[in-house]
């Protein structure tokens, strides 16, 4: 039986809007904008220039380092520009703009693996690396790096199908419509890590998907165990899922691999399946388009690089009083300042909020109710972290209150009746701590250089 993680909140999941909507392919966009940085780590170097012809699945971005993942053309057509474009992370990022020729001519690089059952761990890691697979739940950490760093350490492999953020139903639909991809992808991971069982954590509000997967597991005789978990945010956060499924806690400041766990998003698992069985790199993404501002919410499958405005257009457009566009879920997603930003590898949801839903308090006053302490999944004390940071005391925030362990899930801010900007303050606090650490390192290096100079 699944165990529970600490704390958590129960926001209205609002999944009803798209739960029954089958995944539809988006009408092909006339132009895609593919950012050269859709992952954590070094950005890619573009391999194409303006005027080049590209084919679907062709590699157009070369990894810029070890922690990096290649990028592929998501449509066939002509490169019209290689230039900085608005990024979903704010600011701009170097992007390859491709005019679609609507032919979907496949690249020669697309070759399914002849015998998937005989793949070694090294071969699979190489395929994952070449397919440009990253953590597609939103963290976008390159998956081949995750596999190789957890290899030998992890004996507990978990597929994250919690989908705990409100509104999002993309993973739910994937499990209902493509259970074979999920289970076969999980089997590849089981073989890769040499484990007897792979666990798949799913929230209880998706019991129908759990049933479909169990039927598939029985049909394939797969070494996969579906764990039905409580419906509670942030069930799908890596540390919380690890705790709920395996009963282990990730040591403070360490990775799940240090607790013997390795966690893959459901979407990532499907991407591994496609890379192996279809030879297809990451060129498309299933995106839930929902929220009060969207006329007709849908689940859409679209090429990477599709401007989000195209997604909204396919859903009947937006209400005129839309005041917020969010890439990702409502708890951790990033608010966008423009609808020109493209769908990236980590984009699973686009939300538009309309009307008068923003609950902003210009002069929030903490009433010390302690609800934030009760809901924190890390068991921190947001009330005191906030008070220390309000005084600029990031040293106590870091040492006494363990502020650096905050996972920024937003549960405290969600529950706060005084509407304090807690999570925002903690992000800034962590930034201050990091800045101070970098400054200390720079100072030490400068001193060393000076001494070396003196000696010389």
Partner 1 sequence: MTEYKELKLIASSSPHIRSDEDTRSIMLDVIIALLPALLMSVYRFGNWNFRALTVTAFSAGCCVLWEWLYRKLMKKSNMIGDLSAVVTGMLLALVCPVTVPYWMIAVGSFFSIVVVKQLYGGIGCNFLNPALAGRAVLVAAYAGPMTRWLAPEASYPVLGSADLVTAATPLAILKEGGADAFAALTQTYTAGDLFLGRIGGSLGETSALMLLLGGAYLLVRKVISWHIPAAYIGTVALVSLLAAPAGVDPWQYVTYQLFAGGLLLGAIFMATDYATSPVTKPGQLVFGAGCGLLTCFIRHFGSYPEGVCYSILIMNCTTWLLDKYIRPVIYGAPKKEKKEAAAK
Coil, strand, or helix at residue 129? helix
What SS3 string covers 201-270? Answer: EEEHHHHHHHHHHHHHHHHHCCCEEEEEECCCECCCCHHHHHHHHHCCCCCCCCCHHHHCEEEEEHHHHH
- CB nearer to partner 1: give 200 or 380: 380
Nearest approach, Cβ of 432 to partner 1 (angstroms)? Answer: 15
In DSSP terms, which residues pair with 364 in a beta bridge?
none
- CB nearer to partner 1: give 185 or 234: 234
Bond prior to 9 in cis (omega within 30° of 0): no
In DSSP terms, which residues pair with 98 in a beta bridge?
32, 79
- CB nearer to partner 1: give 230 or 402: 402
- CB nearer to partner 1: give 304 or 349: 349
Nearest approach, Cβ of 282 to partner 1 (angstroms)? Answer: 25
Nearest approach, Cβ of 330 to partner 1 (angstroms)? Answer: 4
The torsion angles phi and psi of 228, rounded to 5 degrees, stand at -85, 120
In whole angstroms, what is the distance from residue 155 CA to residue 198 CA?
Answer: 9
Nearest approach, Cβ of 235 to partner 1 (angstroms)? Answer: 14
Nearest approach, Cβ of 149 to partner 1 (angstroms)? Answer: 18
Nearest approach, Cβ of 297 to partner 1 (angstroms)? Answer: 15
Nearest approach, Cβ of 353 to partner 1 (angstroms)? Answer: 7
In whole angstroms, what is the distance from residue 410 CA to residue 388 CA?
Answer: 18
Nearest approach, Cβ of 244 to partner 1 (angstroms)? Answer: 12
- CB nearer to partner 1: give 32 or 224: 32
- CB nearer to partner 1: give 107 or 140: 140
In whole angstroms, what is the distance from residue 148 CA to residue 142 CA?
Answer: 10
Helix axes 179-193, 266-273, angle to 10 degrees: 90
- CB nearer to partner 1: give 63 or 333: 333
Coil, strand, or helix at residue 26? coil
- CB nearer to partner 1: give 220 or 332: 332
CB of 341 closer than 8 Å to CB of 350: no
Q: What is the layout of strands, in order, in the sheet containing 298-303?
A: 23-25, 298-303, 284-290, 349-354, 322-327, 334-336
Helix axes 179-193, 121-130, angle to 10 degrees: 130
């Amino acid at each position: 039986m699944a165990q529970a993680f600490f704390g958590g909140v129960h926001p209205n999941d609002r999944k009803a809007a798209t739960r029954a909507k089958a995944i539809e392919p988006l009408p092909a966009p006339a132009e895609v904008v593919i950012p050269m940085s859709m992952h954590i780590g070094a950005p890619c170097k573009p391999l194409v220039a303006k005027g080049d012809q590209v084919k679907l699945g062709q590699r157009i971005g070369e990894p810029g380092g070890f922690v990096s993942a290649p990028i592929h053309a998501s449509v066939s057509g002509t490169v019209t520009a290689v230039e900085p474009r608005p990024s979903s992370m704010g600011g701009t990022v170097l992007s390859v703009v491709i005019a679609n020729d609507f032919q979907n001519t496949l690249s020669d690089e697309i070759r399914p693996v002849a015998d998937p059952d005989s793949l070694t761990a090294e071969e699979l890691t190489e395929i994952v690396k070449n397919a440009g697979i990253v953590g597609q739940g939103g963290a976008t950490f390159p998956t081949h790096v995750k596999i190789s760093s957890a290899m030998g350490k992890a004996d507990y492999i978990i597929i994250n199908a919690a989908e705990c953020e409100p509104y999002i139903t993309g993973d739910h639909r994937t499990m209902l419509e493509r259970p074979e991809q999920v289970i076969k992808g999980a089997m590849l991971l089981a073989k890769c890590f040499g484990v007897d069982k792979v666990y798949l954590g799913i929230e209880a509000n998706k019991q129908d998907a759990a049933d479909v997967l169990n039927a598939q597991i029985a049909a394939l005789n797969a070494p996969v165990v579906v764990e039905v978990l409580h419906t509670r945010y942030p069930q799908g956060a890596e540390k919380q899922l690890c705790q709920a499924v395996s009963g282990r806690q990730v040591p403070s400041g360490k990775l799940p691999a240090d607790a013997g766990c390795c966690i893959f998003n459901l979407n990532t698992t499907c991407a591994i399946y496609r890379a192996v069985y279809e030879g297809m790199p990451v060129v498309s993404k299933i995106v839930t388009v929902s929220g009060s501002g969207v006329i007709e919410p849908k689940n859409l499958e679209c090429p990477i690089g599709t401007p989000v405005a195209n997604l909204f257009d396919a859903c009947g457009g937006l209400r005129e009083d839309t005041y917020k566009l969010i890439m990702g879920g409502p708890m951790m997603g990033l608010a966008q300042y423009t609808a020109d930003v493209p769908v990236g590898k980590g984009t699973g949801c686009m939300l538009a909020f309309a009307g008068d839903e923003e609950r902003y308090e210009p002069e929030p006053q903490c009433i010390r109710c302690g609800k934030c302490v009760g809901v924190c999944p890390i068991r921190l004390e947001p009330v005191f972290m906030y008070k220390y940071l309000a005084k600029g005391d990031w040293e106590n925030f870091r040492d006494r209150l363990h502020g650096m362990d905050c996972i920024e899930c937003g549960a405290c801010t969600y529950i706060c009746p005084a509407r304090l900007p807690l999570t925002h303050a903690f992000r800034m606090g962590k930034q201050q701590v990091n800045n101070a650490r970098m400054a200390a390192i720079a100072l030490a290096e400068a001193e060393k250089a000076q001494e070396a100079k003196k000696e010389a």
